Structure 1
Amino acid sequence: MLLDSQKINYGFIELASDGTIEQMNKEVKQLLLLKEDETNNLFKRIDNNEIKTKLHECFMGKSNQFMVSMNSQQYFFLLQKIIDKIHLYVFNIDQLNSFNEQNNWNTRLLSSVGEMSAGIAHEVRNPLTAVKGFLQLLNQGYDAHYINIAQTELERAITILNDLMSVSKPEFAQEKVISFNIAAELEAILLLFQNQLYHITVDKTIESKGAMVTGRKDQIKKAFFNLIKNAIEAMSNGGTLTVKLYEDHEGVHITISDTGVGIPKDKLRLLGTPFFSLKDDGKGMGVAQVFNAMQNNNAKVKVHSEEGNGTSFSLHFSKSSMRAAQHLGGDLMSTVITSETSLADYLERNADFFSKEWFQYIKEHKSYITTHFEDKEELLYKSVKPLMTILARSIKEIKTEEIMDWAKEIGTRRAKMDFPVNLSWEIFQSSRGIIWNAIQSFYKESESTLDMDEFFMLERKVNNIIDMFIDSFTAYYVQYKNELLKSHRETVDELSVPVIPIADHVCILPIVGNVDTYRAKKIREKTLSRVKELKAQKLIIDISGVPFVDTAVVNHLFKIVKGIKLLGCSTILTGISAEIADTMIELGIEIDSELKTKSDLQQALQDLNFSR
């Protein structure tokens, strides 16, 4: 039996970005009544139009969750994007409410027991400690046999009360939160039991020897001690103790398993309750301390046990849950999140941490972007960190001027370094995900909650700020590029209309390259100006360097010829190739009768009595 998330039945579908179903469980197939379709596309297999419409809105990025009523019951749909995949979860609202009520009841029960035990422990521990002291004095002058027994029992009683106090009131020890190597601590705890492992096979796999977590180290070490101790005691006739640790993008995962007697199915739900034990001489505080320690350090515990086959404890220290006290690059993250801590304060204080997390994601999944930056830190500190800082300052009141100023700075700088605008969009769109991760972390780590209206109001505000920046960035990027292009065009314009005088009142205009409307207008303006300036009477226009001629190009040339004629200058057109002539015939283009044509420049010069 699996304790924890398996108590809730939910539908699950993994989708490709185009909506193709890659895998799903039977619950979602029954719930949505998916019909068969050759393409295996989710939208084609769903009959419910309301679900189709809302799913489409989620795929468009307008939302990531919605509720739908089916068969007189409410269902909650949640979409989560995982790199290039989309995960769709479907929950029954009534089942969720029932599960929450049960969990709240268990929590209240454990809290009541804890308060009671704290009072007992506090009142009883002090006199027991005093009795122990007097017995130590008596031990110096009397027969020690019975006194030793009394001391042993008192030691046991004090140990029980200390354990009870640590479970009922964990803050009693006031242990500080630190970052430490959990792999090293786990191996050290395992070494403490080496003399008790002679009849047990140990299967130890530590994949991530440098795995770090942030929490109360002694509390977590004691939890390891209790789990390993219980596992050994459950295998009195021998067996296998399995200890595994690995780290991935989600966090650090630890499994401690045994092949011992296991836990009966009807007793499994009581696991972790103070004083509950399956051992005859057990105190029932070891596993309770484990659950309590994991809860205090934002870790998750899952228990899988089969009677006669053994028990497995899986501990998960997620990266998001460790953020409240994460130490990274010398910067300590906000360690205390209270109801008075605002989201804006949290984002601004921890902008550096989340920016580094985003940078790590870019290096792992979009490394091609970093090749465009000589200084990789420039990508980090001048891309995402300022965006998160500005977002934090704008959550209460949008700082439009600050957003625009920074967008102008970034947009202009990226345009100057010729950084592709599509990659800039990728950077900012990926930062949107890390920003929402930060917001999610705040609400996980604080006692703050949002109702549906507040959530959507926050979603609109955050995404509007990001969109405003991206739009402004794009505008300034394009503005700089347009100004640069305009400057280049003006330079090219000066060089591309060389009206060259070759004799008195005779000039030549060689045209090279494609001629569009803009360039034709510039050629006309410059040519008319130069013809008037040089007082030319004959102008030879050579188009042998023009690769393509169509109706538009010819029309532009005719306008030039007519303009020149008004200035008293006649025109000879040269350089029409056989291919261009054929194209002009196909297009039905006719040469004006007033325009003389020659096959090449040499023929035109001969016609004007020029010799070699």
Structure 2
Amino acid sequence: MGTEFINKEDIAGFISANRENFKEKLLSEAVTVRNKINDILEKGNIDLLKNAERLALYIARNMEDELVEFAKIEGIAWAQHSLTVAFKLEWVHAIRRTLWYFLYQYDKLNGEEEFKRKKFFDMEKRINDRVDQFLNTFFISYSDYKDQQLMSQRQLVENLSVPIIPINSSIAVLPLIGMMDTYRINTLEEKVLVGIGNMRIQTLIIDLSGIAEMELDVIVQFEKILNGIQMMGCKPVLTGLRVDLVRKMINAGVSFDSEVATKGTLQQTLTEHLVLDNGHYQ
């Protein structure tokens, strides 16, 4: 690191005037991150060195609003590109140490042997508070973005897990596949009842041939959903009931309402409910 520093009348100007020394000191403090700077630039178009100086100047100038907004933007950027937050934590702590080093150099050039007590503690509180504020806002922004992504993905999965497929203006098919747990059965209840109302379905064919497992409490909840479907003025038709599922229902004493029709296969049910005209379903 160069031993010469260009003196300026305030700390922000001192940092800007000694930019190369600032970068060199920062890289010496961030041992792990310095080898990832180019990777992060390529992956997320994030210039760590440029942003570090920007953050340092916001702190030095006590620009709280700009610092908070910058932290939000940084949090979203790191979340979007799934960058490792441990690198960010090390980097910001390196910026903190570099800032204190520069304050020391600045104080030496201004001829004071040491900070007066009040001046030192005021400066310490202000700088550390701003760095902590940046970190807190960054992690909140990062976490919020990730939460929104998870919520969006969950909604997509929910829609895909309850695929109501209209066959014509009054008949729809609901093929259920995989594990039917408590969370999914609750999703099923909401999506099915809303779907019947919005699509004005009169007959809903529910194909269970793809269901891998259904616990007893889920079966009981499913029975209530079938009652709800009838209350909506829609006729439920079950197809593809597997032997093990039927056996579990029998042993538990669960029986569906007499108004709930059951058929062997989906193909059989479609053939009975649709009018075949010239080889095309109408």
The two structures have a TM-score, normalised by structure 2, of: 0.70
The change in CA–CA distance for 1:605 and 1:365 in structure 2 (over 3 A counts) is closer
1:358 is aligned to: 26
Q: What letter is aligned with 2:111?
A: E
1:594 is aligned to: 257
2:50 is aligned to: 381
Q: After TM superposition, give the deviation of residue 442 of structure 1 in Å.
A: 3.2
Deviations 1:214-245 (A, max 9, x none): xxxxxxxxxxxxxxxxxxxxxxxxxxxxxxxx
Are the equivalent residues in 2 in contact too, given 1:508–1:540 (CA < 8 A)? Answer: yes
The answer to whether residue 206 in structure 2 is matched with residue 540 in structure 1 is: yes
Give the number of equivalent residue pairs: 268
Matches within 5 A, 1:151-550: 319=1, 322-323=2-3, 325=4, 333-334=5-6, 336=7, 341-359=9-27, 361-362=29-30, 367-368=35-36, 370-374=38-42, 378-382=47-51, 384-394=52-62, 399-448=63-112, 449-452=114-117, 454-501=119-166, 506-512=171-177, 520=185, 522-532=187-197, 533-542=199-208, 544-545=210-211, 549-550=214-215
Q: After TM superposition, give the deviation of residue 510 of structure 1 in Å.
A: 1.5
Q: After TM superposition, give the deviation of residue 549 of structure 1 in Å.
A: 4.3
Are the equivalent residues in 1 in contact too, given 2:206–2:239 (CA < 8 A)? Answer: yes
Are the equivalent residues in 2 in contact too, given 1:508–1:542 (CA < 8 A)? Answer: no
Q: After TM superposition, give the deviation of residue 610 of structure 1 in Å.
A: 4.9
Are the equivalent residues in 1 in contact too, given 2:240–2:265 (CA < 8 A)? Answer: no
The two structures have a TM-score, normalised by structure 1, of: 0.36
Matches within 5 A, 1:4-83: none
Q: What letter is aligned with 2:47?
A: E
The answer to whether residue 228 in structure 2 is matched with residue 563 in structure 1 is: yes
Flag the structure with higher helix content.
2
Flag the structure with higher strand content.
1
Deviations 1:80-106 (A, max 9, x none): xxxxxxxxxxxxxxxxxxxxxxxxxxx
Q: For the residues of structure 1 that align with 2:110 and 2:139, how far apart are their CA atoms?
A: 36
The change in CA–CA distance for 1:364 and 1:415 in structure 2 (over 3 A counts) is closer
Q: After TM superposition, give the deviation of residue 461 of structure 1 in Å.
A: 1.8
Which protein, 1 or 2, shows the higher relative CO under an 8 Å CA cutoff with sep ≥ 6?
Answer: 2
Unaligned 5+ runs, structure 2: 274-282
Q: What letter is aligned with 2:195?
A: R
Q: For the residues of structure 2 that align with 1:480 and 1:425, how far apart are their CA atoms?
A: 18
Unaligned 5+ runs, structure 1: 1-318, 326-332
Q: For the residues of structure 2 that align with 1:369 and 1:482, how far apart are their CA atoms?
A: 27
SS of residue paired to 2:40? coil
Q: For the residues of structure 1 that align with 2:157 and 2:33, how far apart are their CA atoms?
A: 42
The change in CA–CA distance for 1:507 and 1:364 in structure 2 (over 3 A counts) is closer
Are the equivalent residues in 2 in contact too, given 1:356–1:380 (CA < 8 A)? Answer: no
Bigger radius of gyration, 1 or 2? Answer: 1
Q: For the residues of structure 2 that align with 1:363 and 1:493, how far apart are their CA atoms?
A: 44
Q: What letter is aligned with 1:405?
A: E
Q: For the residues of structure 1 that align with 2:159 and 2:120, how far apart are their CA atoms?
A: 58
The change in CA–CA distance for 1:450 and 1:357 in structure 2 (over 3 A counts) is closer
2:278 is aligned to: none
Q: For the residues of structure 2 that align with 1:434 and 1:548, how far apart are their CA atoms?
A: 59
Q: For the residues of structure 1 that align with 2:175 and 2:10, how far apart are their CA atoms?
A: 70
Q: After TM superposition, give the deviation of residue 518 of structure 1 in Å.
A: 6.8
CA RMSD between the two structures? 4.3
The change in CA–CA distance for 1:402 and 1:608 in structure 2 (over 3 A counts) is closer
